[in-house]
Amino acid sequence: MIEIKNISKNFGKLKALENVNLRFNKAECIALIGPNGCGKTTLIKTILGMVLPDSGDVFFNGQSIKNDTAYRKQLGYMPQIGRYPDNMTIGQVTEMIKGIRTQKEPQDKELADAFNLDKLSHKKMRTLSGGTTQKVSATLAFMFKPQVLILDEPTAGLDPIAAEILKAKIIAAKNDGCLILITSHLLSELEDIVSEIIFMQDGNVRFHKKVAELKADTGRETIAQSILHLLKSGTA
Amino acid sequence: MGTSIREKYCYRISSLKMLIRFYLLLMPVLLLPEICAANATNVLRVGKGQSYGSIKAAIAASSHGDTVIISAGLYQEGNIIIDKSIFIQGEGKPILDGQLKFEILSVKANHVTIKGLVLKNSGRSAMDDPGAIKVYDASNVLIEGNTLLDNYFGVYLQYSKNCIVKNNFIRATQLLEHQSGNGIHCWKSDSLQIIGNKTYGHRDGIYFEFVTHSIIWRNLAYNNLRYGLHFMFSNDNAYISNLFKNNGAGVAVMFTKKVVMINNSFEDNLGDAAYGLLFKEISDCYLSGNKFIRNTTGIFFDGSNRIIIERNIFKENGWGMRLQANCMDNVIQLNNFLGNTFDMATNGSLTLNMFSENYWDKYQGYDLNRDKIGDVPYHPLSLYAVIVEQNPPAMLLYRSFMVNLLDQSEKLSPSLTPENFVDNKPSMAPHNL
Amino acid sequence: MIRLLKYVILDIVKNKIVIAYCIMLALFTWSAFGLEDNVSKGILTLLNIMLLAVPLVSVLFATIYVYNSNEFIELLLSHPVKRSVIWKALFIGLSLSMVAAFIIGTGIPLLFFADFSTALIMIVAGCMLTIIFVAIAFLSSILTRDKAKGIGIAVMLWLYFALLFDGLVLFIFFQFSDYPIEKPVVLLSALSPIDLCRILILLQLDVSAMMGHTGAIFKNYFGSNLGLLVSFLLLVLWVAVPFYISLRKFKKKDL
């Protein structure tokens, strides 16, 4: 569904991505993991078209995303730190996004209801707590029933109840056949969601394996343990 | 009964009165034959179905004091010479056409009156300067209420005396100066009255050379190619309540003494060499109550002395006055300077003229003792006026922040502008003019 | 685009700075006409406000606003919206609201007090200056990610066009006063939008003086229909070029 070919990106001297090749398919749930500054967010932003690669290309359903914005209709994005115009209310932000997308598809209000956002819709964005902002981001990401979900640290800052609600929603989406990309440092959280793991370091993809494969290779029970084992043994 | 007696008495008295009145009324009629015999005037009528077919024939048949009445129609008779003291009157605006070849009317006798004619297309020649009406060496000529269109010269007076040119409409449409003469041209004449004429589109609207003791009153000069009014070597004249507007170079008074100019308006004379009023080599003149509005230069003084300029208005001119360094002993007082780009300009640093009690709208001083005179002297010459004088393209930067800064700092501590170019008693409020 | 524009303008109006700016302009203008004893002096006071304050406020406010819109831009970019549409909507929204503030604050009293042609040319010049300095703000805010630096660049550009440029031209005048420099100077003046606007207004206010001396050259150049058209096109270019460069840079910017 998404194919990344020979992507490189430098920020000045820093090599954020170095010749990255990846391929994601439908109904997969992929975890992007790696230490801070390894290029995860840059990779995500490249897929979203917010960062333009120095070389290489991203294909969405076989189409290059260069000079294309229509593919984002199939995309739901939840940023790590949601930043919204200060003076707009939650209601206005959702209304505006709806207006911009002008999609006929039925809207998914489940998350909004679960998070009780309707009650807060008159609140201005700058008055919201970090957690509430994340709730808004999550709601917006799922609202248009996208085929691809890109979630950057989705549960960071969420209270445990909200995190559970979100997790359940992610699993439901996966079962509906969505492609889901998650980055997270909380490896334990990924356990029951993820089907594949991509491990990145210094702008390079170290490996891209199915969860079962990873566990078998390392001989560990959980993803967290497997990764730790790899990091410690230095074979990653 | 008493009332009836009284009524009878009254009746007698009133009938006597009526009788006297009747005789009085008849008297002129009874005396008429005697008057006619004394002056022997005839009325000669010219026109279709009239006793004379041509103007020339009528004039030939006339004698001194006769009246020639010209009926409506077109008359192309070449040059018509008026050599008798006659009264020529147009009826229904007869048109005398010079066919671009002839001088139309040549007046060569005293006591001629020309009224109510339309004269057009006089000959054009710089050799003998043909005019629509040209007066040669005559006195007491009255030219009134005529319409003069597209002539070379309009009314031309030479060696004439005590003549009156009044309420004529004079217009030319030639585009170039050399194709056109002057509207009213006066040369070597004395005691003229030029009153209420309108001149448009000629070379000079009104031209005076070697003319003395004359008055120019209530004329309009619009859109003339060169000057609205042009004075040379003409002393002891007055011009009063005239309006000069949008002429190529405004009004010029040159090489002249003792001219009085009162209540005239000089407006919209725009251009590099255009002046509301140009003074060149003149002296002992008096100006009062004039208005100088929207001219590139209101008054330009060149080599002119002992002129009193008071109670005039200088408004929205590029330069209110341009006082060259070769002028002295002029008095400029009680005038209003309003909304001019520059109030003053000069080409040197020497000033021997007096400014006093003028109102300058750019004055920023104060009046603590409330005597309506500013307590701080005003220097009407701004720094940038000096800069532009030396470096004209710098005008392009006028009103920019830098220039405002320069001007303000110069006002606080004058360094480049002459110290004696000053009004020590600037008025706080505009004079009521 | 229109929908986006609606939200941008809504946001700017809520910002209240534009409203304050509008009220300030109105206060200045009414008092300039009310306090001065004649209209032409009021116009001159206004001219100074227009040539200095209007560009400064436009460039500062727009620069800060663009930096503060980073979140807004990021939010929109994950949705199917073209980058150019976002940038244009921001630009048009900012320009429209600043121009509206200028017209309400200054334009209406101008039409009320000054004669029509003077008022018209001052309003057009003021609007063009506003839009030009919004465009310059867009350029300076895309040149650097650092907000403080961006505002610095914007203020420096304003300083240059509003104050330094005139000094520079004046200096050239004196250095080359022995040469026929009228025409090069006309060309030079096109290099500063503030000067261009000032000259167009000068030709209206000081027409009597501009008809004299070499002023006539300027009058012939700027005062003719062709000159007016060229001047106007130059002003449009002053909007188009900075904005186009900023747009190109924005399309390639990483967020």
* pLDDT reported for residue B30: 47
Contacts of C2 (CB under 8 A, 6+ apart): none
Tell me the three state secondary structure of residue C123: helix
Q: Using CB atoms, which residue from A50, A88, A101 is nearest to C77? A: A50
CB atoms A88 and C11 under 8 Å = yes
Mean pLDDT of C30-44: 84
**End-to-end Cα spacing for chain A:** 27
Of A118-122, A227-231, B405-409, give the lowest mean pLDDT range: A227-231
Mean pLDDT of B13-20: 54
Q: How far apart are CA A93 and CA A136, in angstroms?
A: 9
For residue B316, the chain C residue with the least C-alpha distance is: C208
> What is the number of residues in chain B?
433
The question of ipTM being above 0.90 is answered as: no
Distance from CA of C70 to the nearest CA of A (A): 8
For residue B389, the chain C residue with the least C-alpha distance is: C213
Flag whether pLDDT at B7 surpasses 80: no
Distance from CA of C250 to the nearest CA of A (A): 11
Of B5-19, B359-373, C30-44, give the lowest mean pLDDT range: B5-19
Q: Using CB atoms, which residue from C51, C189, C209 is nearest to B341? A: C209
Query: Please, what is the average pLDDT of chain A?
Result: 86
- CATH code matching the domain that covers A2-211, chosen among 3.90.1150.10, 3.40.50.150, 3.40.50.2300, 3.40.50.300: 3.40.50.300
Residue pair B349/B326 in contact (Cβ under 8 Å)? The answer is no
Q: Does C41 touch chain B (CB under 8 A)?
A: yes
* Residue that wins the pLDDT comparison between B312 and B364: B312
Flag whether pLDDT at B378 surpasses 60: yes
Mean pLDDT of B206-214: 96
Question: pLDDT, tens digit, for every residue of C102-111?
Answer: 999 999 999 9
Q: Using CB atoms, which residue from A70, A87, A100 is nearest to C76? A: A100
Question: pLDDT, tens digit, for every residue of B86-115?
Answer: 999 999 999 999 999 999 999 999 999 999
Tell me the count of B-C CB pairs closer than 8 A: 106
* pLDDT reported for residue C76: 87
* pLDDT reported for residue C199: 86
Mean pLDDT of B278-294: 95
Question: pLDDT, tens digit, for every residue of C138-173?
Answer: 999 999 989 999 999 999 999 999 989 988 888 888
Q: Using CB atoms, which residue from B318, B392, B396 is nearest to C208? A: B318
For residue B387, the chain C residue with the least C-alpha distance is: C174
Domain chopping of chain C, boundaries: 2-251
pTM: 0.82
Burial C129-167 (b: 16+ CB within 10 A, else e): bbbbbbbbbbbbbbeeeeeeebbebbeebbeebbbebbb
> What is the number of residues in chain A?
236
- Kindly list the residues from chain C whose CB atom is less than 8 angstroms away from the CB atom of residue B271: 211-212, 216
Question: pLDDT, tens digit, for every residue of B116-164?
Answer: 999 999 998 888 889 999 999 999 999 999 999 999 999 999 999 999 9
Q: Does C35 touch chain B (CB under 8 A)?
A: no
- Kindly list the residues from chain B whose CB atom is less than 8 angstroms away from the CB atom of residue C37: 361
Distance from CA of C255 to the nearest CA of A (A): 5
* pLDDT reported for residue B34: 44
Confidence category of residue B36, pLDDT binned at 50, 70, 90: very low
* pLDDT reported for residue B88: 95
Domain chopping of chain A, boundaries: 2-211
CB atoms A84 and C72 under 8 Å = yes
Question: pLDDT, tens digit, for every residue of A172-201?
Answer: 988 888 999 998 877 777 788 888 889 888
Residue pair C49/C32 in contact (Cβ under 8 Å)? The answer is yes
Chains that touch C (3 or more CB pairs under 8 A): A, B
Q: Using CB atoms, which residue from B341, B400, B401 is nearest to C206? A: B341
Distances (CA, A) of A43 to A17, A20, A236, C62, C74: 7, 9, 19, 32, 16
CB atoms B342 and C195 under 8 Å = no
Q: Strand A29-33's sheet: what is its strand order?
A: A75-78, A148-152, A179-183, A29-33, A196-201, A204-210
CB atoms C214 and B295 under 8 Å = no
Distance from CA of A21 to the nearest CA of C (A): 20
Flag whether pLDDT at C5 surpasses 80: yes
Residue located via tokens 């209101």: B298
- Long-range CB contacts (within 8 A, 24+) of B251-255: B251/B227, B251/B275, B251/B276, B251/B277, B251/B278, B252/B227, B252/B277, B252/B278, B252/B280, B253/B229, B253/B277, B253/B278, B253/B279, B253/B280, B253/B282, B253/B285, B254/B278, B254/B279, B254/B280, B254/B281, B254/B282, B255/B280, B255/B281, B255/B282
Diameter over CA atoms, chain A: 52
For residue C72, the chain A residue with the least C-alpha distance is: A85
Nearest to C194 by CA among C56, C98, C79: C56
* pLDDT reported for residue C218: 67
Distances (CA, A) of B424 to B331, B334, B386: 13, 12, 20
